[in-house]
């Protein structure tokens, strides 16, 4: 049997391992629900529920090809060993995975097991992320070649192994003893249709992307929201890139107009972000320790673990007394998704204003994001919390973000109904809301910290380290390992923005 191991690539189309394996013999498709995954602190019922629906969709796709998805539970090596004893595995096929420490360890265990039994394991890239890459120069060209390559296809459908003893079927959330949180929306229908999200973005919703992406309400409409599908591989990255390129080419054929210009600007921004997707994952691939340690060695241990959870809980539940922060957090807790700018603001507030360690913040947010992608997430949290040493310190003012991104206050008042009816200037004032009788009538906390003082203190602590000569050398090292090479003539100077 040719064992096709599905991981975070839950689709049948544009799947090199599946279609290459099909040339060699009858297939057996398996997904292993790992205990290490289910128990991991970054895994939440939201993720598992989306995963289970993706597995059902994959099951349908494989059945349409005459096959079956076998879902096992437990340890991957044990599952494979049992399959091998019963049926004899000829070869193992999968995509490479840039994940967390436990997936790295598990892959090493699988590799050792396969080697011992003489079972060849062929792994394929799926994101333009390169394993064992020592040198960042030239990465963008390699990335482009990789993601514009043709997928493996076959004129004939695959042959399938049909053992009598099929593995268990896809469990429900309840069977895994998990349940959704009360504040989470019960349905996530939009996450189930990745292709629909992609096409409506490229032809209808995306025109205002460039202008609207930073506002939380507009962003919900104008951003693609395909990220959960890229994270689980229900949409293939190459497919997304191809569709994006076709749309760009089609637009060129259209007569010049303000509409066309808006579309072109938006697609330009979207294309950049598709490259960032892989650029960020490449960082974790090159340095898996980033899961635990700050990129810049001198900025490790910058913020102590708090003695209690008061501050992180206030932030995590949306009760900081900063209306824009609280509205974003509550909307995230409900929807499982938030636009980029507001994610950055939440991290900035937690790590600069509240001086919480980035690891704590990263873990809490990971559980909330339905699109949790370790490479992007961990590197972004590090970047937004100022521990990379190569990025400008972006300390967002919640008041300014409210005035810029929610000028009518409608988003804030929707998610923080305690403040309904207050003028927007008051929502932005970051002072105890109202005065006297009005203040006592509103059930909303006073600001948990003072903005100016908190950000001044954070800036001074970080710059006292970054301005040291040895720290500048360390920043140079980080840049050489991870920095974007889009402008190779400009080596980083401290304070300059890098990705």
Ligand X SMILES: Cc1cc2nc3c(=O)[nH]c(=O)nc-3n(C[C@H](O)[C@H](O)[C@H](O)COP(=O)(O)OP(=O)(O)OC[C@H]3O[C@@H](n4cnc5c(N)ncnc54)[C@H](O)[C@@H]3O)c2cc1C
**Residues at the site binding ligand X, with contacts judged by CB under 6 A:** 213, 223-227, 230-231, 270, 273-274, 276-277, 280, 339-340, 343-344, 347, 369, 371-373, 376-377, 380-381, 384
Q: Which two tokens stand for residue 149?
A: 């390559």
Nearer to ligand X, 226 or 448 (CB): 226
3-state secondary structure of 171: coil
- Asked if 381 and 346 touch (Cβ cutoff 8 Å), the reply is no
Q: CA-CA distance, 267 to 270, in Å (whole number)?
A: 5
Nearer to ligand X, 37 or 80 (CB): 37
**Closest CB 280 distance from ligand X, rounded Å:** 5
Cα 378 to chain centroid distance, Å, stands at: 9
Nearer to ligand X, 102 or 276 (CB): 276
**Closest CB 380 distance from ligand X, rounded Å:** 4
Q: 93 Cβ partners below 8 Å, 6+ apart?
A: 2, 3, 4, 5, 17, 18, 20, 21, 121, 122, 124
Nearer to ligand X, 356 or 433 (CB): 356
**Closest CB 361 distance from ligand X, rounded Å:** 8
- Asked if 374 and 284 touch (Cβ cutoff 8 Å), the reply is yes
Nearer to ligand X, 27 or 223 (CB): 223
**Closest CB 270 distance from ligand X, rounded Å:** 6
Nearer to ligand X, 104 or 340 (CB): 340
**Closest CB 310 distance from ligand X, rounded Å:** 22
Nearer to ligand X, 30 or 231 (CB): 231
Q: 323 Cβ partners below 8 Å, 6+ apart?
A: 398, 402, 412, 416, 419, 427, 428
Q: CA-CA distance, 76 to 52, in Å (whole number)?
A: 18
91-95/2-6 β-pairing: parallel
**Closest CB 223 distance from ligand X, rounded Å:** 3
**Closest CB 76 distance from ligand X, rounded Å:** 23
Per-residue buried b or exposed e for 119-154, using 16+ beta carbons within 10 Å of the residue's own CB: bebebebbbbbbeeeeebeebbeebeebbeeeebee
- Asked if 402 and 324 touch (Cβ cutoff 8 Å), the reply is yes
């Amino acid at each position: 049997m040719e064992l096709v191991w599905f991981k975070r690539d839950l689709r049948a189309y544009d799947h090199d391992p599946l279609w290459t394996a099909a040339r060699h013999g009858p297939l057996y498709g398996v997904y292993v629900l790992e205990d290490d995954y289910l128990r991991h602190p970054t895994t939440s019922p939201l993720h598992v529920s989306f995963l289970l629906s993706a597995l059902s969709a994959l099951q349908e796709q494989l059945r349409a090809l005459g096959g079956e998805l076998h879902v096992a539970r437990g340890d991957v090596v044990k599952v494979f060993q049992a399959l091998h004893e019963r049926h004899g595995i000829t070869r193992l096929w999968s995509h490479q995975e840039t994940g967390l420490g436990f997936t790295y360890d598990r892959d090493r265990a699988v590799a050792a097991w396969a080697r011992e039994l003489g079972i060849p394991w062929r792994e394929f890239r799926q994101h333009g992320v390169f394993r064992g890459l020592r040198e960042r120069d030239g990465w963008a060209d390699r990335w482009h070649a990789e993601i514009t390559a043709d997928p493996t296809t076959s004129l004939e459908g695959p042959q399938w192994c049909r053992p009598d003893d099929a593995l268990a079927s896809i469990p429900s959330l309840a069977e895994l003893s998990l349940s959704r949180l009360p504040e989470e929306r019960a349905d996530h229908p939009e996450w189930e249709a990745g292709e629909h999200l992609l096409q409506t973005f490229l032809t209808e919703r995306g025109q205002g992307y460039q202008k609207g992406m930073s506002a939380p309400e507009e962003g919900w409409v104008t951003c693609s929201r395909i990220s959960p599908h890229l994270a689980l591989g229900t949409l293939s990255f190459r497919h997304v890139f191809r569709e994006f390129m076709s749309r760009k080419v089609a637009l060129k054929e259209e007569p010049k107009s303000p509409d066309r210009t808006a579309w072109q600007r938006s697609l330009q921004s979207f294309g950049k972000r598709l490259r960032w997707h892989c650029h960020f994952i490449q960082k974790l691939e090159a340095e898996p320790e980033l899961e635990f340690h700050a990129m810049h060695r001198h900025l490790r241990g910058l913020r102590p673990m708090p003695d209690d959870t008061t501050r992180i809980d206030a932030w995590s539940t949306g009760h900081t007394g900063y209306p824009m922060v609280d509205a974003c957090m509550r909307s995230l807790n409900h929807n499982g998704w938030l636009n980029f700018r507001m994610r950055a603001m939440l991290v900035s507030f937690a790590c600069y204003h509240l001086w919480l360690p980035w690891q704590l913040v990263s873990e809490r947010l990971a559980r909330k994001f339905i699109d949790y992608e370790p490479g992007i997430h961990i590197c972004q949290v590090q970047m937004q919390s100022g521990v990379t040493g190569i990025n400008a310190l972006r300390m967002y003012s919640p008041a300014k973000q409210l005035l810029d991104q929610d000028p009518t206050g409608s988003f804030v008042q929707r998610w923080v109904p305690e403040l309904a009816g207050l003028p927007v200037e008051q929502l932005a004032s970051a002072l105890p809301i109202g005065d006297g009788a009005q203040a006592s009538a509103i059930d909303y906390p006073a600001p948990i910290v003072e903005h100016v003082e908190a950000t001044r203190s954070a800036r001074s602590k970080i710059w006292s380290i970054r301005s040291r000569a040895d720290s500048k050398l360390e920043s140079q090292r980080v840049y050489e390992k991870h920095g974007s090479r889009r402008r190779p003539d400009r080596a980083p100077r401290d304070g300059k923005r890098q990705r």
